[in-house]
């Protein structure tokens, strides 16, 4: 009964994992050439870590994560709190709020490409009306703005998932703590700070980690909308790995990028486990 | 405070609905140049023309066969989801109730796999499927997604909570492990099957990196890649592009809105912590 799963995991996870390590020490290429791949030792890692483009990708990815995580978490927690409070008309709000989660990313990207259109898309009309100006913003073509545009669409696309996880977390906060707080005459803000937030601790750790991993894996939006440009302004780690490994076919080099990415993400997952354990 | 809540709810609602209304409105307007000129105005959000020419164009485009993309996606998703449910639950049941001391190590190994992001090994996977000659097939889009450490883990957690007496009683009656799984384990895990099917569907529905690397032509490509290819080659026909987007998104959105309760339970069911 274990065999089908183990064979498939071996073929598509264990072996590729080991191969990634092996490739990262060689000059392996996507299409096998007449000359077999050569062992390079740590050269690929040295080249990745001294490539200014790689560090641009790291900087962009970290910038994306640092902005997206707090904004997306507050937005999803806010929406979850709203759904958890007893206000009329919320069933409709819930149905609307989960819509982005039901849309495939490639469709979302297409819709936002229309909104970001230069010079006459909706966002430019809004900008021109708001600031009484005839100038416009090149949302995806201006290096100073492009990443922010990617951030906005990414938050739109993925906050409902975190919202649902928070909603489940809120239902697990013991009801008697709220009752005790009400007896003690706590205001709404104090209830949130002293009852809701501590009760959500484990949910928070989980949500922060999945949001971080999701943010660090940013690829689809960038690949379709900007391809990492303009001027590498939206180049992310995975887009960098993709262009080196797939487009330029340098699997050895790109595998070193993949391993660096793996080590980063795996340490975050371990950190989550340790943080969650401390709670118990 | 209450006003503040309504303001927040309205702001979020508007932010979500405006782009979606634009998608629908533009898709219903067959006049290409008019679409371009109204994209920044209120008329991009309230349909003033309703015609289905764009939809007809999408369905009859010879270079981007929507029907074919759709059939590919349905086939890939259905096959992968069904196989994934059986393969992962059977493995998990065997880990939970089988004999053999290696099981503890395997569980640890499965948990370790959870920490490996798919992106980090995707190039080596590509190398393997190329060597196997699987490029540009359905198999290459189905096989790698079947066994899933996270799903095994979810099933494992569920099966370990089954009452021991029940399993032992079945054993005494002479049932072997597979029959206990088939008659007791699998039927008892229905809610989890829904969760796994939902999550797996969303995964396939959103997958992009893998299908663009392993497919070349329209024959086996899924809708997600079809959407971005269609978008890339129809940059001035926004009406058509939006019609493509609606055709792709609408059935799924409607389906999940109808089964919303199960859908939400499925998503939150995935946050069980180990």
Cβ contacts of B20 on chain A, cutoff 8 Å: 99, 111
State the smallest CA–CA distance between residue A254 and chain B in angstroms: 8
Is A106 near chain B, with CB under 8 Å? yes
Model confidence pLDDT, tens digit, residues A97-125: 989 999 999 999 999 999 998 888 888 88
Radius of gyration of chain B (CA): 23
What ipTM goes with this model?
A: 0.88
Three-state secondary structure of chain A: CCHHHHHHHHHHHHHHHHHHHHHHCECCCCCCCCCCCCECCCHHHHHHHCCHHHHHHHHHHHHHHHHHHHHHHHHHHHHHHHHHCCCCCHHHHHHHHCHHHHCCHHHHHHHHHHHCCCCCCHHHHHHHHHHCCCCCCCCCCCCCCHHHHHHHHHHHHHHHHHHHHHHHHHHHCCHHHHHHHHHCCCCHHHHHHHHHHHHCHHHHHHHHHHHHHHHHCCCHHHHHHCCCCCCCCCCCHHHHHHHHHHHCCCHHHHHHHHHHHHHHHHHHHHHHHHHHHHHC
Mean pLDDT computed over every residue of chain B: 89
B233 pLDDT more than 90:
no
**E strand map for B110-173:** none
Mutate to test the interface with B, among A107, A153, A259, A268 (most CBs of B within 10 A): A107
- Tens digit of pLDDT at every position of chain A (280 positions): 889 999 999 999 999 999 999 999 988 888 877 777 788 888 889 998 999 999 999 999 999 999 999 999 999 999 998 888 877 777 788 889 989 999 999 999 999 999 998 888 888 888 888 888 888 888 898 899 999 999 999 999 999 999 999 988 888 888 888 888 888 888 878 888 888 888 888 888 888 888 998 999 999 999 999 988 788 999 999 999 999 988 888 889 999 999 999 999 888 878 877 877 665 4
Q: Where is B204: in which H helix or E strand? A: helix B190-206
Q: How much is the pTM?
A: 0.88
Annotated domain spans of chain B: 2-51, 73-238+249-269
pLDDT score for A278: 63
Using an 8 Å CB-CB cutoff, list chain B residues near A79.
8, 12
Using an 8 Å Cβ cutoff, are A227 and A141 in contact? no
The pLDDT of residue B51 is: 87
Closest chain A residue to B246, measured at CA = A107
**pLDDT at residue B213 tops 50:** yes
Reply yes or no on whether the pLDDT at B273 is more than 70.
Answer: no
Q: Answer yes or no: are the C-beta atoms of A156 and B16 closer than 8 Å.
A: yes
B8, B48, B68, B207 from B20: Cα distances, Å: 19, 16, 25, 21
Which top CATH class is A52-279?
A: mainly alpha
Which pLDDT score is estimated for B271? 63
User: Residue A162: its chain B contacts at CB < 8 A?
Assistant: none
Q: A61 at the B interface (CB within 8 A)?
A: no
What is the Cα–Cα distance from B81 to B145, expressed in whole angstroms? 9
Residue A279 pLDDT = 55
Report residue B79 as tokens: 């096959």
Surface of A (196-255) touching B: CB under 8 A:
202-203, 206, 213, 217, 219-220, 223-224, 238, 241-242, 245-246, 251, 254-255
Q: Do B127 and A30 touch (CB under 8 A)?
A: yes
- What is the C-alpha to C-alpha distance for residues A75 and B15, in angstroms, rounded to an integer? 12
Q: Which pLDDT score, from 0 to 100, does residue B242 have?
A: 93
Whether residue A104 and residue B146 make contact (CB cut-off 8 A), yes or no, is no
Q: What fold characterizes domain B73-238+249-269?
A: MetI-like fold (1.10.3720)
Which among B216, B193, B244 is positioned nearest to B87, based on CA atoms?
A: B193
Greatest mean pLDDT range, B111-120, B152-161, B251-260: B152-161
pLDDT class of B274 with cuts at 50, 70, 90: very low
pLDDT at position A32, please? 75
Identify the residue whose tokens are 């490639």: A106
Do B273 and A9 make contact, defined as CB atoms within 8 angstroms?
no
């Amino acid at each position: 009964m274990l065999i089908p799963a183990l064979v498939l995991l071996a073929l598509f996870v264990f072996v590729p994992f080991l191969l990634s390590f092996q490739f990262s020490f060689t000059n392996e290429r996507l299409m096998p050439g007449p000359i077999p791949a050569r062992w390079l030792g740590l050269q690929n890692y040295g080249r990745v870590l001294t490539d200014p483009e790689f560090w641009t990708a790291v900087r962009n990815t970290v910038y994306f994560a640092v902005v997206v995580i707090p904004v997306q978490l507050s937005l999803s927690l806010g929406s979850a709190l709203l759904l958890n409070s007893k206000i009329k008309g919320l069933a409709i709000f819930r149905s609307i709020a989960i819509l982005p989660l039901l849309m495939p990313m490639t469709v979302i990207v297409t819709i936002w490409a229309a909104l970001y259109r230069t010079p006459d898309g909706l966002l430019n009309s809004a900008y021109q009306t708001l600031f009484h100006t005839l100038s416009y913003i090149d949302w995806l073509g201006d290096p100073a703005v492009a990443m922010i545009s990617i951030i906005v669409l990414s938050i739109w696309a993925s906050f409902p998932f975190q919202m649902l996880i928070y909603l489940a977390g809120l239902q697990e906060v013991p009801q008697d703590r709220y009752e005790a707080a009400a007896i003690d005459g706590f205001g709404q803000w104090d209830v949130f700070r002293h009852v809701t937030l501590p009760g959500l601790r484990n949910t928070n750790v989980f949500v922060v980690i999945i949001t971080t991993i999701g943010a660090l894996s940013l690829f689809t939006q960038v690949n379709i909308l900007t391809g990492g440009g303009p001027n590498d302004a939206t180049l992310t780690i995975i887009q960098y790995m993709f262009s080196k490994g797939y487009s330029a076919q340098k699997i050895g080099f790109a595998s070193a990028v993949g391993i660096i990415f793996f080590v980063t993400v795996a340490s975050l997952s371990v950190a989550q486990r340790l943080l969650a354990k401390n709670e118990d | 405070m209450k006003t503040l809540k309504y303001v927040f709810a309205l702001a979020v609602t508007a932010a979500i609905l405006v782009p979606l209304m634009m998608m629908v409105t533009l898709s219903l307007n067959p006049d290409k140049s008019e679409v371009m000129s109204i994209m920044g105005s209120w008329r991009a959000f309230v349909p003033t023309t309703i015609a289905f020419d764009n939809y007809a164009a999408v369905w009859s485009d010879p270079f981007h066969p929507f029907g074919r993309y759709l059939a590919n996606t349905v086939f890939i998703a259905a096959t992968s989801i069904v196989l994934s449910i059986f393969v992962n639950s059977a493995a998990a049941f065997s880990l939970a109730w089988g004999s053999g001391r290696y099981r503890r190590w395997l569980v640890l190994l499965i948990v370790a796999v959870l920490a490996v992001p798919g992106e980090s090994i995707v190039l080596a996977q590509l190398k393997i499927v190329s060597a196997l000659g699987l490029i540009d097939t359905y198999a290459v889009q189905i096989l790698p997604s079947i066994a899933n450490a996270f799903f095994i883990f979810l099933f494992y957690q569920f099966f370990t909570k089954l009452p021991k007496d029940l399993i032992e009683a079945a054993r005494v009656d002479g049932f072997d492990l597979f029959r206990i799984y088939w008659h007791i384990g699998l039927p008892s895990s229905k809610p989890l099957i829904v969760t796994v099917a939902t999550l797996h569907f969303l995964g396939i529905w959103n997958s992009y990196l893998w299908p663009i690397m392993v497919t070349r032509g329209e024959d086996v490509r899924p809708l997600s890649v079809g959407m971005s290819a269609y978008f890339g080659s129809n940059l001035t026909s926004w009406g058509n592009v939006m019609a493509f987007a609606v055709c792709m998104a609408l059935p799924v959105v409607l389906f999940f809105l109808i089964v919303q309760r199960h859908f939400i339970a499925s998503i939150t069911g995935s946050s069980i912590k180990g």
